[in-house]
Structures are given as structure tokens and as C-alpha cells.
């Protein structure tokens, strides 16, 4: 049997470093041409496999593949597309196997979050029973940092760094203007289900009075009275109040703060962010001048200020996925293991996919300060190494020179998929 | 008469590089101890003079003063406080002179925008007639880039760079997800009166299809139908549409888009941004999935990705202000002059304060593309050099190490100001 090809796909929301994992996969596969064939990347993630739209990465120059290491977004396209369960749509899984077989694909490397690891797990199980075994390896990725077992998820460290730097910088701005102008600044960050990203903003505060003064986490039900009291206290004590609010903050009744029942002049529902809601509350109850920012995609695409640790880990996980695949390891997700000891160290580990699939890791209670508005030293100890180091992309005319691949598709061999 | 001291103050909204000008002022004054005394900085801008709250910068270490070059915000505090006209409140101007006389201040260096240059101009006129002549020099600063005569304003180049990088990065994110997720991304930037900052976003687009596809400028009245048609066209042609919208965009009737008549569940008016309004319009009329970001203070405090050109010019203007003051030049603002020729070059110039006071420079029509949604090559030629180069701050544990000064006040000699 000829050397088998690798199928690699990016899944779910992209990050500043998911392409660094792709870079690790492709560069490592190229180093092992005696053992593996080509790397085919799914165009728009798993859809690329279903639609037999396979990008032939061997057509890309060495330089451009190296450039993936510092290019944000998903170079081959990603997708928000969750495969149904095997029971609901066995045909989809059979289609995957059919495509893999048609293109001599022996390795399925899936780069994504919890749903993606679940898919990888199902593919690994099904392929065996269908007589076309494929080596399935998951590569973790999610800015939300919510995958279990792995010490952290590539993508998170860079968002964390961006958020901490941004609130530090904006805090200095507000502090210098507060006497006659804006007294409260609110920055909204991602994290619909967990507060990892918002918590990272806390790293910016090293001394009393430093921004942020308040972090609003999804894990802590929003208490209006306590919150307003704290805002007022900070303005009176420090002259200003800088707030990081997670998009996932909820009222005690479970409703999102962001879902504020806003309507525009035409009576349409306005899907506002959490930041403007908090701002409005402060204005109406405390009458402080405010400003707010919503970082949205800026935070997860901010490759210009990515964490070096994050980039290195993302690359190393992609590399390890290929090495483990060649070794015949199957149905695992590669992980980051934190070494014990006073100095931060890490190595690559692994865990069975079945242990990862559909399990979400929450921000531990011991990482949240007593008053619910800050982070503990234990949290800082966990987070700090993840944002360490800078890894600047190359610049030309003042702008980062991100690469754009040719993305040439492999010739199709099958009939088009008929979707139901 | 003993060597006279310098009064330096930061005025109006701060920037990522206004402290670089302060650094230029203080370091240069320290090099000329034979000619000038100390640099006293106003605590919270001009209020520091009115309240006789003068920060003695000689108490700061050489290292911390050097650190101002890479620290955003206003190190001594700034203010939004416009002096009334001489006719309305002559006492305020007399108070300034009184404070300057009490502390042997012979030089008034005022670092700010149009209003500040107007104040500097008035002080220069008044001091003469009051028998206590002071050398008044304006140092330009404004992210809005709206001062006349000077080629550009320190602070603008760094915001421009941040905005161009951010929309490039977010554009890559959206492009990779568009097939199954967000198709339209909107980033709101500053510029209530002019579109310089929004225009800078256009630098990110170097090839057809690159983000941003649409720039909404305050100079171009918002045409709903044309805009929606363009959004739809971009989504169909490029798969997605990335938009930079200035906070100052207006309807043809002159109303701000941001003032959308929003009310919350309690009937309170919601002061929304322009981005969510544009997003909502796209959702209701075209039904595309959207995301939006509001950069707000993040953009003007983003020292981590400041333009090297901007930092150098901010420093050079502070330096020149002291040198010109020593030479006895009076009632001028120091400026950046662009040299002619194919390669970018600049030098320090000067202009009488009376020519600058209260004059706003608009984005020229020839910088706006025919359809009103983009920038011309002439605009690119102007903007490109201003964002050139990176000037990274030092980092520790993953975070930029911005300096915090001691800000020790000079002992007061006068009675407190009685404000009217």
C-alpha cells in the first residue's frame, strides 16, 4: 500500500494561532515524506471532506507554509458545522470514510474544540467497523480554554494577552482623564459559557488601583446593587473604574445581560452587547461619564500581539499530532501538560478522545476572588505563563505581512454529496 | 534673573504617544540646565496651573522619564477643560500668569489639539500686556489629525496603524468563517468630526477582496440603499464584507447614526454606537449574520503597536519645543513638515499659534474614492508613512512595562483659586 495521506481540518471559531498548528502539521509531514503522503486540508473545515473539497497543501511554497505560523484566521477556512450523531445521520460519517478512501487518506487530524473532538472520536470508532481504519488525532484549539485534561487550549493564551494588555492601556488612558472626563470604562470580552478570557484581564492589575478594578464573570450571577456599590467605591478611591465584562454575564434569573430587551426606533429588537448595558446602568444609577469598548473578533485575531508561549504550543501540538499519527497512536487528542515546579515548563501529552468529547472545563471557583469581582493568586499563577513572550509577525509598510495560500483543490473522484 | 522654569501640560484626549512628547520636553530641558530651570508639569493639564498643582519632574528618575517614551495615556493627567475667552473670564488668564510668576515660569509648553493651541495663543498675548512675558509654544497632539498646517498630528499615526492592523486581522477571521457563520463584520472607530481614522483602515486593503470593503466616513452622508447594495455585493463577490465605520457618520438629515433612538426595557434612551446600528440594519434588511466591535479607547491607547514614525515625531516635537523656547521663539506651534520627493522624509517646522487656533483640517475630498466607500491612492500615499515602523515597549511576564511616575507636587505659594 502506498503512503497514506493526511486529512487536516480547522473547525469552529478561528484563533490567532490555529494556523501555527497547521504549520506544525504540514512542516512535520513534509519532514516525513518516507512515511506519509500529502497533507490535504479541508476547505472550510469538515465541509471540505463532506464536499470532497480537499486543498493540496503540497502546492504551497515552503515560505508560505512557514508564514502560517504568524498568520491569524483559518488559512483553509473553518466552519461552524456540527456533524449529527451517528444515529441521526450515519450517512454523513459514511461519506467521510468514502472521501478518505477515495483519496488514500489514512490520518484524520481535526483541529478544534469540544464538538470537534467528539467528531474525531466518532470517526475513529466508525472507521474501524467499516473496514477502513483511519488514525484519528485531535488537536486542541479554542479561545474559550474550555477543553478538559489539556493544561490549556491554543488560542486562549493570545486572547488572554490581548485582553490584559488592552485593559492596562485603556486604564492608563482613563486614569489620566478621569478628573474632568470619563470615570468608568467598560471592555466587553468573549466567553459565553466561561470566564477564562475575562479572568485574564485581571493579570493587568498588579498594584492596588490598577485597571481592571472589576471583572464580571459568567460564573458569578450579576448582582446590580453590589456591582454599583463597587463601581462607586472605585471611582471615589482611585478616581476611575475600569471594568472587564464577559459577554456571558447573566442576571440571577439566567438571562444574559446582553439581552437587555432593547428596541430601536422601528421597534426591532436590538441585540446589544453586555458593555453598553453595563454602561447605561452606571449612567442611570450613578451618573458617571462612561466609555465602552467591545473587542469582539479583534481579540481572537490579534496575531500582532500573540503570546509566544501560545504560538509555540500551537505549533508543537500540530507537530506532535503528525508524529503520533505516524507512530500509529489513534483516537487521542494531543495535549499540553504543565510540569510541576516553581518555574513554568510544559511538554506534549495525550488523552483518549472519548475523555475529551463534549466535556467542558469551567473556571474553578478557587480562581475567583471572594467578592466575585477579581481573580485569585492561584488564577494568576495559572494564567501568567500562558501570556508570556511576544512573537511578532514581519511587517512591511507598517502592516503585518500575513500570508495568503493558493488553496488549490485536489481533483474530485466522487459524485457530489446529496445533502438531506 | 535666575534660570526660568518650564511649565508643560497635556490637554484633551490622551494618545499612545503624548508621553513621548513629554519625554522629549523633559530630556531636552535636562540637557540644557545651563539655560532653563526645571520642568513643572500641570497636574491634569491646565487645571494644574489654575490650581497651582505643579508636578516637579526633576524628582523623577532618568529611567522613568525615558520610560515615558513608551507609556500611553497622560503621565501627569490631562483634562477636558476649555478656558473661556479672555472677555468672559479674564481672571482665569490672570491666575495663570500669577502662578507662572510665583514659580518663575518663563516657558509655557502646551501639548494638545485646536482648543489648546488657542489657549496657548491667548496666554502669549495676555502675558505681554500684563508685564510678565512668557514664551508660549504649542506642541500638537490629537488622534483626530485635525490640526492645520502640520503635516500630521502625533497620536494619529498610531491609531491609524492600530485600526488598519485590527481590520486586517479581523478580516482574516471573518473570511475563514464566512461560509457557515458571520458574513458581515463592522468595526467602529473614533472621529466624530472627520474621517481620518476611519480612512486609515483602508490601508489594510491591498488587493481586491481584502478587508475593509467599505469605509463609512463622516464626510459622506449615509445612504442606506447604496450602502446595503454594496454590502450585498461584497458578500456575494468575496464571501464576506468587512466594514469600518466612523462614530461620526451621519444620516443625510445630519443626525448621527449612533443616535438611533434606542430605548431599553425601562424606556431609557440607549446611547448606542454606530456599529450596532449598522449591524442591526444589515440583519433586518439583508439577514446576514454579523459581528461588530467598538474599539473606543483601545485604539488611542494601543501603545503596544504604536507607529515608530509617530513615536519619533512626538518625541522630536517635544524636543524642538524646548529648543525653540530657549532660542526665544514665541507664540508658535512646532509642526511636522513633509519633505517632497518619492521617499518619505520629515523635519520639524513651526507656525504662528494664531494660524492654528480653532482651525480644523478636514479629510480632503480627493482622498475619498468616487463611490464614497473607500480611499484613493493619494490618501494612501499620505497615510502610509505615518504608520511605518514598530516601536515595541519592553515586556515582563507577558505584559508591557509602562512607567508610573511619582508626580510630586511643588509646594504652593499662592492662595487657593476661588472658582466662579
Q: How close does chain B come to A343, measured CA to CA in Å?
A: 12
CATH number of the structural domain spanning residue B217: 3.40.50.460
Is the residue at A405 inside a domain?
no
Task: Walk along chain B (420 residues) in steps of 10 and give the mean pLDDT of each run.
Answer: 91 97 98 98 96 98 98 96 85 93 97 92 87 94 96 98 98 96 96 94 96 97 98 98 96 87 54 84 94 96 98 98 97 97 95 90 96 98 98 98 98 82
Residues A52 and A113 in one domain: yes
Residues 6+ apart with CB under 8 A from A106: A4, A5, A6, A36, A100, A134, A135
Q: Are A189 and A245 in contact (CB under 8 A)?
A: yes
Q: How far apart are CA B35 and CA B5, in angstroms?
A: 10
State whether B347 and B281 are in the same domain.
Answer: no
Q: What is the 3 state secondary structure string of chain B? A: CCCCEEEEEECCCCCCCHHHHHHHHHHHHHHCCCCCCCEEEECCCHHHHHCCCEEEHHHCCHHHHHHHHHCCCCCCCCCCCCCCCCCCCHHHHHHHHHHHHHCCEEEEEEEECHHHHHHHHHHHHHHHHCCCCCEEEEEECCCCCCCCCCCCCCCHHHHHHHHHHHHHHHHHHHHHHCCCCCCEEEEEECCCCCCHHHHHHHHHCCCCCCCCCEEECCCCCCCHHHHHHHHHHHHHHHCCEEEEEECCCECCCCCECCCCCEECCCCCEECCCHHHHHHHHHHHHHCCCEEEEECCHHHHHCHHHCEHHHHHHHHHHHHHHHHHHHCCCCCEEEEEEECCCCCCCEEEEEEEHHHHCCCCCCCCHHHECCCCCCECHHHHHHHHHHHCCECCCCEECCEECCCCCCCCECCCCCCCCCCC
Quote the cell numbers at residue A417.
Answer: 454529496
Mutate to test the interface with A, among B173, B259, B312, B391 (most CBs of A within 10 A): B173
Q: Which residues of B are catalytic?
A: 144
Q: Tell me: do B286 and B352 sit in the same domain.
A: no
Q: What is the pLDDT of residue A260?
A: 62
Asked if B204 and B347 count as a contact pair (C-beta separation under 8 A), the reply is no
B147 located within any domain: yes
Is B334 in contact with B320 (CB distance < 8 Å)?
yes
Does A295 share its domain with A161? yes
C-alpha cell read off for B323? 529648543
Q: Could you tell me if B296 and B345 lie in one domain?
A: no
Alpha-carbon gap, residue A181 to A291, rounded angstroms: 10
Secondary structure of chain A as H, E, C letters:
CCCCEEEEEECCCCCCCHHHHHHHHHHHHHHCCCCCCCEEEECCCHHHHHCCCEEEHHHCCHHHHHHHHHCCCCCCCCCCCCCCCCCCCHHHHHHHHHHHHHCCEEEEEEEECHHHHHHHHHHHHHHHHCCCCCEEEEEECCCCCCCCCCCCCCCHHHHHHHHHHHHHHHHHHHHHHCCCCCCEEEEEECCCCCCHHHHHHHHHCCCCCCCCCEEECCCCCCCHHHHHHHHHHHHHHHCCEEEEEECCCECCCCCECCCCCEECCCCCEECCCHHHHHHHHHHHHHCCCEEEEECCHHHHHCHHHCEHHHHHHHHHHHHHHHHHHHCCCCCEEEEEEECCCCCCCEEEEEEEHHHHCCCCCCCCHHHECCCCCCECHHHHHHHHHHHCCECCCCEECCEECCCCCCCCECCCCCCCCCCC
Chain B hits for A76, Cβ within 8 Å: 176
Percent of the residues in chain A that have a pLDDT greater than 90, as a whole number? 85
Q: Which residues contact B101 (CB under 8 A, 6 or more apart)?
A: B132
Task: Report, as an integer, the average pLDDT of A328-351.
Answer: 96
User: How high does pLDDT run on average in chain A?
Assistant: 94
Residue B40 lies in a domain: yes
Residues of A that are catalytic: 144
Return d(Cα B69, Cα B306) in angstroms, integer.
11
Show the domain range for B185. 156-301
- The mean pLDDT of A412-417, rounded to a whole number, is 90
Same domain, A258 and A309: no
Judge if A331 and A197 occupy the same domain. Answer: no
Identify the domain boundary among A301, A319, A349.
A301
Q: Give the whole-angstrom CA distance, residue B287 versus residue B184.
A: 10
Residue B359: the pLDDT is 84
**For residue A71, which residues of chain B lie inside 8 Å, CB to CB?**
172
Q: Are residues B170 and B291 in the same domain?
A: yes
**A201, part of any domain:** yes
Domain limit, last residue, from A301, A317, A351: A301
Burial environment of residue B153 by CB neighbours within 10 A (0 to 12, 13 to 18, 19 or more) = buried
Claim to verify: residue A172 and residue A113 sit in the same structural domain: no
- Where residue B344 sits, what CATH number does that domain have? 3.40.50.450
Distance CA B241, CA B239 (A): 7
A271 and A337 in a single domain? The answer is no
Q: Which strands, in side-by-side order, build the sheet including B346-352?
A: B54-56, B39-42, B5-10, B105-112, B135-140, B332-338, B346-352
Residue of B nearest to A295 (CA): B293
| Contact between A169 and B303 using a beta-carbon 8 Å cutoff | yes
| Within a domain: B364 | no
Query: Which of B404, B367, B378 is CA-nearest to residue B77?
Result: B404
Would B103 be classed as within a structural domain?
yes
**Which grid cell sits at A303?**
496575531
**B206-237 tens-digit pLDDT:** 999 999 999 999 999 999 999 999 999 999 99
- Residues B31, B80, single domain; the answer is yes
C-alpha cell at B405: 511616575
Show residues of chain B in contact with A44, CB under 8 Å. Answer: 179-180
Residues 6+ apart with CB under 8 A from B72: A169, A172, A173, B14, B15, B16, B17, B19, B301, B302, B303, B306, B402
Residue of B nearest to A384 (CA): B397
Instruction: Tell me the pLDDT tens digit for each residue of A123-137.
Output: 998 888 888 889 999
Domain boundary among A267, A301, A335: A301
Say which of A181, A261, A300 has its CB closest to residue B80.
Answer: A181
- A80 to B180: CB separation less than 8 angstroms, yes or no: yes
Of B161, B170, B284, the CB nearest to A298: B170
Does the bond joining A192 to the residue before it have cis omega, within 30 degrees of 0?
no
Give the closest of B272, B284, B302 to A272, CB-based.
B272
In a domain, residue B235? The reply is yes
Separation in Å, CA of B161 to nearest CA in chain A:
7
Least Cα distance to B234 among B259, B251, B204, B209 occurs for B209
B176: nearest CA partner in chain A: A77
Query: Is B252 within the bounds of a domain?
Result: yes
Is A293 in contact with B295 (Cβ distance < 8 A)? Answer: yes
Say which residue the cell 499563577 belongs to: A381
In the Cβ-directed half-sphere of B311, how many Cα atoms lie within 13 Å? 23
What per-residue confidence (pLDDT) applies to A83?
Answer: 85
Q: Which residues pair with A112 in a beta bridge?
A: A140
At A15-53, the pLDDT tens digits run 999 999 999 999 999 999 999 999 999 999 999 999 999
A81 and A42 share one domain: yes
User: Beta strands A241-246 and A346-352: pairing type?
Assistant: unpaired
Check CB contact under 8 Å for A384 and B397. yes
Domain count, chain A: 2
Which residue does chain B place closest to A18, by CA atoms?
B173
| Closest-CA residue to A42 (of A76, A93, A83) | A76
CB contact under 8 A, A165 and B304: yes
Amino acid at each position: 500500500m502506498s503512503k497514506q495521506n493526511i486529512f487536516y481540518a480547522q473547525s469552529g471559531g478561528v484563533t490567532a494561532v490555529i494556523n501555527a498548528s497547521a504549520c506544525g502539521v504540514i512542516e512535520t509531514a513534509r519532514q516525513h515524506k518516507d512515511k506519509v503522503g500529502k497533507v490535504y486540508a479541508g476547505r472550510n473545515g469538515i465541509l471540505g471532506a463532506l464536499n470532497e473539497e480537499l486543498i493540496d497543501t503540497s502546492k504551497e511554497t515552503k515560505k508560505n507554509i512557514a508564514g502560517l505560523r504568524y498568520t491569524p484566521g483559518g488559512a483553509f477556512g473553518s466552519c461552524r458545522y456540527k456533524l449529527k450523531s451517528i444515529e441521526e445521520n450515519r450517512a454523513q460519517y459514511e461519506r467521510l470514510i468514502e472521501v478518505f478512501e477515495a483519496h488514500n487518506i489514512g490520518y484524520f487530524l481535526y483541529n478544534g474544540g469540544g464538538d470537534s473532538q467528539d467528531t474525531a472520536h466518532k470517526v475513529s470508532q466508525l472507521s474501524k467497523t467499516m473496514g477502513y481504519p483511519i488514525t484519528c488525532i485531535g488537536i486542541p484549539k479554542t479561545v474559550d480554554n474550555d477543553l478538559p485534561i489539556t493544561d490549556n487550549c491554543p488560542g486562549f493564551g493570545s486572547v488572554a494577552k490581548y485582553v490584559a494588555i488592552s485593559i492596562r492601556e485603556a486604564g492608563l488612558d482613563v486614569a489620566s482623564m478621569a478628573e474632568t472626563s470619563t470615570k468608568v470604562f467598560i471592555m466587553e470580552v468573549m466567553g459565553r459559557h466561561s470566564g477564562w478570557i475575562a479572568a485574564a484581564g485581571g493579570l493587568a492589575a498588579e498594584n492596588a488601583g490598577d485597571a481592571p478594578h472589576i471583572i464580571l464573570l459568567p460564573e458569578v450571577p450579576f448582582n446590580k446593587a453590589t456591582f454599583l456599590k463597587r463601581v462607586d467605591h472605585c471611582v471615589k478611591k482611585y478616581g476611575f473604574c475600569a471594568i472587564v465584562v464577559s459577554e456571558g454575564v447573566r442576571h440571577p434569573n439566567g438571562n444574559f445581560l446582553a439581552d437587555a430587551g432593547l428596541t430601536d426606533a422601528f421597534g426591532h429588537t436590538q441585540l446589544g452587547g453586555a458593555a453598553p448595558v453595563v454602561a447605561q446602568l452606571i449612567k442611570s444609577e450613578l451618573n458617571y461619564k462612561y466609555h465602552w469598548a467591545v473587542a469582539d473578533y479583534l481579540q481572537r485575531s490579534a496575531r500582532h500581539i500573540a503570546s509566544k508561549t501560545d504560538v509555540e504550543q500551537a505549533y508543537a501540538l500540530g507537530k506532535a499530532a503528525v508524529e503520533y499519527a505516524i507512530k500509529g497512536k489513534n483516537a487521542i487528542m494531543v495535549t499540553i501538560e504543565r510540569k510541576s515546579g516553581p518555574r513554568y515548563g510544559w511538554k506534549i501529552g495525550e488523552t483518549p478522545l472519548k475523555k475529551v468529547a463534549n466535556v467542558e472545563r469551567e473556571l474553578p471557583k478557587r480562581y475567583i476572588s471572594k467578592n466575585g469581582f477579581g481573580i485569585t493568586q492561584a488564577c494568576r499563577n495559572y494564567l501568567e505563563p500562558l501570556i508570556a513572550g511576544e512573537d511578532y509577525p514581519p511587517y512591511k509598510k507598517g502592516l503585518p505581512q500575513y500570508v495568503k495560500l493558493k488553496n488549490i483543490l485536489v481533483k474530485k473522484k466522487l459524485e457530489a454529496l446529496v445533502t438531506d
